[in-house]
Structure 1
């Protein structure tokens, strides 16, 4: 953890940023089910899932369910039973959380009522309850409303805006798919887990949370083919995309698909300087016979964490391959000091010492191997010597904190710019994402641009076009209207005509279509839109 924080400070210092935004470590607990319906227990965990996903961002590091369960285990608290406030406090302290969100919900008929509270552990201050009511069918909307209210009340950096503006930052969730996802996550037997997660993916294939969960499940089972099948569904707009690339890269390596494994690790490396990525790049370079490059990658991984025995061992392998025997022996001895029971390190060190003519040193290693029943046959050839080790897992908390650090460092740098220049960066990035078909990400970028520069008609127009492409005509119409108030344009009137037509507001659509034709009478696109409107009115 300290290394990640040091890297965060290094990033900030290298860009000469005076101060970073305060980052809160947040822990969200499942909400207490106060209804009499045991079949709604999945809703308890769904509050934690949705609130955590809505809070994730540059100001928050949200502790995940796995971390919460580990802390419960350490404290001897059953993780699958409702926790008292005192138990929640202990878990939060164990994980070093700054904020804790907890609450309760009740269902009567089709109605749903929920209350949330925030505990600030640094100030030891408990907030008054924040309530939201609605229909059970509006579960995710209600959970999102709670987050909006919590942030408005407790985060001084939060730009309140409207609930609709806040909700628009997140992809729409299909409730039946979400229910199956939550039931899959909570399932205690493998067949049920697979059934619910596959059903969730079938019901809403654009929501890749179930695909990621299935990919991780099969990965843990060492079923690399099925793991890769599910993980490759994720795209750059997904919250777990970079994590999925890591596991996909490992899958492909063990399946013998080395080029795609290399590509996956390279994509992560361009975003985050992760030690495990450098290590795995070195393993692939070794397999390709690129020993100098492999050594560079292993040196980079070792510099990032000199206490990792695998990095020391892999560096020793690369140095042996390069016939740098003295350095190889030093690195392998370092690996053995960190992990004395490493038979591969003892094996290779024995061979290196033999090559150096160090009979006494070789004898020590051979005796250790024989004592541990891992003796070598006379003089093994290089072909049977240990190979460098791929990292199959990574420190998830370090990964997420480093992602957050990189993102925050960039945002702090942008924050020093005038608002219109800051907005222009988001606007440009949004347009790039549109060209790549990554509409959900593009929407978030353009929404950020419009919040930074609310008088930028082009940003509102671009956001409207994205919303239209996402089949959100009501929201698109509102953005087209805002763009037109700021600046009259052909694209604005024609876009608004299309949005009104999608909403079946044909009179308004006709007026906007005719306004577009006045600005460009020769436009075939405008003529076609007006023609569709008039034909539908007959």
Structure 2
């Protein structure tokens, strides 16, 4: 027999390795051999399922005599004419009752045995996935927020280099920022085995970092530790924490894994702090924050001209600049290609700049050679969701819809809470004609964030496709408000007005977009969307020709335009696809 050293539960199944109550390793106990097997009484000193999150080490009491500690309490001997099952006594009053009693005992024994085997095997299985939550900033100073966020993001990045560990991306893990941490709930929602949380306190140049790593499968703290460091030690501290996590998870690291974990991306602590600040503002994704991010990342490259990650960050800033800031893509996007190429020159092993370079090349140049950059990014880091996401958009753009659907499903599996990825899943369903599934994905986005404008935008498009124009108008108006009257939201609004026969309102939207086009802050594509709603094909194609003359980035996704379906049968549409290079 075996006994749990913590709760003193007796197990008669010699195959079990771990206690089915608290997960402790079972020990052989020869004192139990020869005694009649009974049901162990659980120890009453403490809750065995409690999750201990203290970062302090738990001390073992040395004055406890294990030989005289709580032992198994055997049940009293039953009389020969009864069976005891739980708290119910079954009298032997006949063969039927006896048969039923025996059957119940057999079933209970099977459940006990199989259940024990399942729990034991699950606990015995190594941890294969982890989520690093944003660290709590306990400094009482909002200016330290970039440190707490940046430390978590750096750990996510380093742990993602491990080929045998799935790490939840930042966009999913950071959705729990500011929430009460329920490790089990978060682990289930993200589909991971372990959750890491932390706290950071900054006092001048002093840092106090606390870390907890919890196995959500058995609600046990795997590791907890405090790090007292100086700001100048920040670079080495995050590497130290990442290495400690890998050690506690008992991960077997390959040579490449070890290099990724210990790699020094810069030796300049000031450049590193500027990089963390830049990424902090980049993740906020607004016009003003993107400008701040760009300035900070430029400063990081000035402090360390060989800092590849900072150049990769700059490339990311410029590839989305046209969307958030409204700058001319023809003027701003070439900088994205320059900085991505610089990052690759400094560190060819980085996946991120390859994906950015591919996206910029496709948008800016309509160049199908972009595909090799997406594939290279995926080869370098198969778990980088953005590479799969952007590659999916490219594949849709060139008409390879089944491949595109597979890639966006892969991106969603890697980053299940990313709103932009879920939005692209919904767009794929629209393209496939599965409007019910598209609606479901839109509702999922709204449940995650009711203020995500693109969710209402895409739902509005679904409703247009279903001919439910009044409901589409309500969603378009929500999108307009949340997106601060962006060009894309205005185009949808004008299209819906046209479908409802509201000519004056549609004309007003056209006038607003024409003014923006004159100011080079709108695209001919936006006006073509409104004109297609009015069924004015000549004007729609006139605006598309202007977009072609401007080498619009939106024409790279000409085949992703559900609101211009009415134009697809026109020969001018096929001719435009041919000239852009996206025809079949």
Greater share of helix: 1
Give the shorter-chain TM-score range. 0.3 to 0.5
Structure 2 length normalisation: TM-score?
0.42
Structure 1 length normalisation: TM-score?
0.45
